[in-house]
Amino acid sequence: MAMLKTSVERLDRELHGDMVNTPENEMESLIIGRLQTNSWRNDIELLRVTPGKGNNVRVVEEVLFNVVVAGDYFDIFNWLQTLDDELGFVVVKQFDLQPDSGNRSGERLRANFTIVSYREVNDA
C-alpha cells in the first residue's frame, strides 16, 4: 500500500508540479518565481510576465501567462522543457520567435509565449 501511495504522489507531482496544493492567491507569485529561476538556470532573460485569466474546462482551470523572453534557440528550448518539469502539464498556446533587435550578433531570439498550466478546479 505504501508503494502505491508513493507512486500516486509521484504521478500527481508529475502531472501538476508544485501547483497542486498551492492556494489561488499564491499561484501567481509561485509561477513568476519559477519562471525567473528557470530563466537564470537556462541563460534566458525574462523580459515580461503578464498574468491572464484562463477558462475552466470541465474539471480543470487554466492558469495563463503571457511571457516574453530573450536567449538563443536551444536555451529557449531547454527553458520550456524545464517549465514542464517544474509546473506540471504546461501547454504553449501561442508563440512568436523573432531576432532580438537589441542584439548585434543576431544569434539571440525574442520569444513571446502564451503559456497555460492546468490544475483541477477543486484544487483552486
- Range of weakest confidence among 4-8, 9-13, 70-74, 120-124: 120-124
pTM strictly above 0.75: no
Q: What is the pLDDT of residues 31-73, one digit of tens each?
A: 888 889 999 999 999 999 998 877 787 777 788 899 999 999 9
- Range of weakest confidence among 25-29, 32-36, 37-41, 111-115: 25-29
Q: Give the pairing type, strands 45-57 and 60-71.
A: antiparallel
Q: Which band of pLDDT confidence, cut at 50, 70 and 90, is reported for residue 79?
A: very high
CA distance 97 to 70: 9
CB 89 within 8 A of CB 15: yes
Farthest CA pair distance, the chain: 59
Q: What is the pLDDT of residues 8-23, one digit of tens each?
A: 877 766 665 655 566 6
